[in-house]
Chain A
């Protein structure tokens, strides 16, 4: 984006429409307030005044229909996986998924359990992985900033016209 004039009323910038749209999108990443285990405590802290995700335009939402980011916070059991998938499918496009903590990344401590999914990426398209048990709010915040970078780099207009292939989704049958 190029700044072309600065005046007392404000600055005028000219740039590609993608960049302008993405600038707006990346500063309103609303995440779903949803957790399945102890990582959710850190998720709540991230929304609190100390980490203050709000300064980046990240607000928690109680409804998946208003959320842009699904944060997998905690151990995911097979029983829960279908419910999480339902939440994901209720979210409007574009939507992003963060696997927060060891459990959501790989199953973590409970990987050998018969009831625990060995990683959120086995049933959801995960964008960002955050290791840690649990990750500190700073780490989650960094993960959210990585989502911002992804958003900023997206050719959004091409994407909504269907010119960019969609992210591979592990729950959908693959074309090969």
Chain B
């Protein structure tokens, strides 16, 4: 199915209007915007519906957008049965970043969501094991936030190094 048909099918299933967008340059994949409260439901329907059958979660990632004061969750889905793909997005507020987990839909989402929690600080409700996956447990803050400030030292190790004398930077 084409992206516009997939969007229409999702609208039927969710019985609500959805927005289909494409980047400014009109290239690359378009995406379907899902309201946050319907995120898990939309994902489950996209996986189970006969015409969509998105049984494969290719990637789940997060993007910090301080200008719009939200964090985007981006799910790249693919259907082996129908050989079609779609990108679903939803928006989480930066102040209170809580989203429902999609681990119950695709078990593969578990580590992706842990990564988003680790680097962007999004809390996933009903996640089976939400803890940091890449950084140490005692790491301060979430480094992929655009306003992240690195502390001067970590466990006594300075985080910067003076430039050698006479160097350009």
Contacts and interface: CB of A to CB of B under 8 A. Distances in A.
Given A114-B143, A114-B148, A115-B135, A82 B155 contact: yes
Contacts of B161: 106-107, 111, 118-119, 122
A110 interface: no
Contact of A171 (B148, B156, B159): B156
A81 interface: yes
Contacts of B160: 118
Contacts of A56: none
B137 to A, nearest CB: 10
Interface string B35-63: 00000000000000000000000000000
Interface in A69-103: 78-79, 81-82
Contacts of A114: 143, 148, 150, 159
A77 B43 CA distance: 36
A117 interface: yes
Interface in A110-128: 111, 114-115, 117-119, 122-123
Nearest to B164: A106
Nearest to A80: B136
Contacts of B148: 114
Chain A residues touching B, majority SS: loop
B158 interface: yes
Contact of B158 (A82, A106, A111, A118): A118
Contacts of A123: 156-157
Contacts of A79: 135-136
A78 B157 contact: yes
A122 B158 contact: yes
Given A79-B136, A114-B150, A122 B157 contact: yes
A118 B159 contact: yes
A78 B150 contact: no
Given A106-B161, A119-B161, A122-B161, A78 B136 contact: yes
Contacts of A111: 161
Nearest to B154: A78
B157 A117 contact: yes
Interface in B130-160: 134-136, 139, 143, 148, 150, 154-160
B53 to A, nearest CB: 38
A141 B95 CA distance: 54
A145 B138 CA distance: 40
Interface of A: 78-79, 81-82, 106-107, 111, 114-115, 117-119, 122-123, 171
The 7 closest A-B pairs by CB, nearest first: A118-B161, A114-B143, A79-B136, A123-B157, A122-B157, A78-B154, A114-B150
12 contacts: A78-B136, A79-B136, A81-B155, A81-B157, A82-B155, A111-B161, A114-B143, A114-B159, A115-B135, A118-B158, A118-B161, A123-B157
Given A78-B155, A81-B155, A123-B156, 6 more contacts: A78-B136, A78-B157, A82-B155, A118-B159, A118-B161, A123-B157
